[in-house]
Amino acid sequence: MVPNIIVFDGAVDDFDHVLKYAETAVFEDVTSPVDGRVYPDVHVLGEKERDAFTILATSRTGLPLRCNLAAIRKNHPVKTTTEGLIHADVGHGDFASVFYLYDSPPGYGDGTAFWRHLRDDVEFNPNTTHIPDELLPDLDNPQKWDMTGFVGARANRFLVYPTVRYHSRWPAQGWALGEKCRTVIVAFYDLVSNESAPSHTV
Ligand SMILES: [Fe+2]
């Protein structure tokens, strides 16, 4: 049984510290070694921060997770495209998280949507390595999908979901408003044995 969407509000006590870190970070365009796409305005976090996400995700979910990648990411109104909008985070381990740094602006309603492919009646990618070729033409077309869940952006909200679950930012032009864009910290995790999971508390 694959766990469902897990959401925690007030996820970290030192949220102001996290926000200040993100607001002073240096962003760059990064080419993903997994899918070869260029992701604009990314700040890849270091080992210390990955460890913090390991502890956060493990303590909040009860699952023995180890963070393998974490990055602050902005969705930019010029640079961000809708290519591969609906997707599964295949090639990134077993679970993913989105840590929202800002409330969605009033009346805007951006967040993360989860989807079921209408023709194939699937919510989960059938493998952990690649999205099947026959689905690729539908990734940018929400009309081919049914939205099965939505988590709104809220400051200090932590969302965890299996990487094989189809999802997207939403709305498609989900870069929010003004200078802050849509800014989140994304992280990916491997399931590890209980023996090697961290024993710290948050
Ligand atoms: Fe994703």
DSSP class of residue 143? G
Phi-psi group of 136: left, alpha or beta (phi > 0 → left; psi -120 to 50 → alpha; rest → beta)? alpha
Please tell me the distance from the alpha carbon of residue 70 to that of residue 196, in angstroms, as a whole number. 20
DSSP class of residue 108? T
What is the pLDDT, as a whole number, of residue 172?
Answer: 82
Residue-wise pLDDT tens digits, 146-159 = 999 999 999 999 99
How far away, in angstroms, is 156 Cα from ligand 1 center?
Answer: 19
What is the pLDDT, as a whole number, of residue 202?
Answer: 39
How far away, in angstroms, is 120 Cα from ligand 1 center?
Answer: 20
What is the pLDDT, as a whole number, of residue 20?
Answer: 94
How far away, in angstroms, is 1 Cα from ligand 1 center?
Answer: 21
What is the pLDDT, as a whole number, of residue 195?
Answer: 53
How far away, in angstroms, is 187 Cα from ligand 1 center?
Answer: 10
How far away, in angstroms, is 89 Cα from ligand 1 center?
Answer: 5
What is the pLDDT, as a whole number, of residue 69?
Answer: 95
pTM value is 0.90
Q: Is 161 exposed, middle or buried (0-12, 13-18, 19+ CB in 10 A)?
A: buried
Q: Is the preceding omega at residue 171 within 30 degrees of 0, hence cis?
A: yes
What tokens appear for 73 in the block? 């990411």
Q: Are 9 and 159 in contact (CB under 8 A)?
A: no
How far away, in angstroms, is 134 Cα from ligand 1 center?
Answer: 19
Distances 192 to 67, 147, 160, 170 between C-alpha atoms, Å: 10, 31, 16, 31
Q: Which domains does the chain have, with CATH numbers?
A: 6-191 (2.60.120.620)
What is the pLDDT, as a whole number, of residue 201?
Answer: 42
Residues of the chain with pLDDT under 50: 197-202
What is the pLDDT, as a whole number, of residue 6?
Answer: 94
What is the pLDDT, as a whole number, of residue 40?
Answer: 85
